[in-house]
Amino acid sequence: MLTIILALLIFGLLIVAHEGGHFLAAKWAGMKVEEFSVGLGPAIWQARRGETLYSLRILPLGGYNRIAGMEEEDQDDPRGFNRQPLTKRMIVIAAGSAMNFLLAILIFILVFMGFGIPQDLNVVGGVQPGMPAQQVGLRPGDKILEVDGHRVESWSQLVSLIRSRPEQRITLLVDRGGDLRKIEVTTVREPQTGAGLIGITPPWARENLYNSIVLGLQQSLLMVKMIILSLLKMVRGKAGAEVVGPVGIVQMVGQAATGGLVNVLSFTAVLSLNLGLINLLPIPALDGSRLAFLFLEALRGRPLDPRKENLIHLIGFILLLALLLLVTYKDIMRIFFS
């Protein structure tokens, strides 16, 4: 239950950030935003502030801004989307993904300032409850000098040796405040990768604001690069299509939560980057397709017929909904019957 609540909070944060980007950009452009909605389906709460109706809807799988001038039957409002300069319309459409990128950067900055970055030291930073390391009495601050007689001088070496020994009894030479002792521990197998684990985490060092900003930008760019490379591999058929729906994401949130708050925050940042990038793809019903139509308008010198564009978006929305249902079905089958 706590996992579901945490997942809903994460979904809500990502939706508010994305739709908030569109909303703020539309307000900046002087457009009339008739409704700002978090969630889809029937409304469970609504309130009007000025000209905008704010809604919270029952399905936390998306959201929307109803901006005047975006529908076929609503083309005459002087503050409508369709009456604004092309550059302003592009900014409004792109602002949702831009806000997701900004959210990810801010989360990474918070992580680096509040928790720091893992240090490549052969020192135990933390011990996970219920794991083998806790059961045999390993403590934060213990310096692991050897694993089965192999000398260890860094965290990466330590992890490599442990991961290569799943479900094996290993002997650790530990320096605890100058007192050398040998501790035997049996590793467990990580379900996803099959690697060995004992349940220890590295030491972390907090960063100042400037370093956190730099690291936050670098980490976000690195994640974006990795996501793009993964998408390209899938398109080229060099990697399987690893697609999960809401049910799969809830499961991943639960897995991240076992590693603590820093893992949940990092997962949220990566999810936000994924959402921002996916929305920029030129797929009907996504922001990327609307940007593509605006670029086409710039080339043609006139907009596409609103009826044709809305029909394309409608077909795209139906196909995306069908894909979502299929992926959700596969997630359920994988979780309960694999």
DSSP letter for each residue of 86-126:
HHHHHHHHHHHHHHHHHHHHHHHHHHHHHT-EE--SSB--E
Asked whether the beta carbons of 294 and 86 are under 8 A apart, the reply is yes
Residue in 293, 287, 294, 253 with CA at minimum distance from that of residue 270: 253
Catalytic residue among 19, 146, 207, 309: 19
User: b/e map of 184-193 (b: 16 or more CB within 10 Å)?
Assistant: ebebeeeeee
Asked whether the beta carbons of 196 and 163 are under 8 A apart, the reply is yes
**Spatial separation of the C-alpha atoms in residues 267 and 194, rounded to whole Å:** 21
**Spatial separation of the C-alpha atoms in residues 252 and 111, rounded to whole Å:** 19
Q: What is the 3-state secondary structure (H, E, C) of 168-236?
A: CEEEEEEEECCEEEEEEEECEECCCCCCEECCEECCEECCCHHHHHHHHHHHHHHHHHHHHHHHHHHHC
**Which token pair is 270?**
């990566």
Respond yes or no: is residue 207 known to be catalytic: no
**Spatial separation of the C-alpha atoms in residues 8 and 196, rounded to whole Å:** 32
User: b/e map of 200-229 (b: 16 or more CB within 10 Å)?
Assistant: bbbbbeebeeeebbebbeebbeebbeebee
Catalytic residues: 19
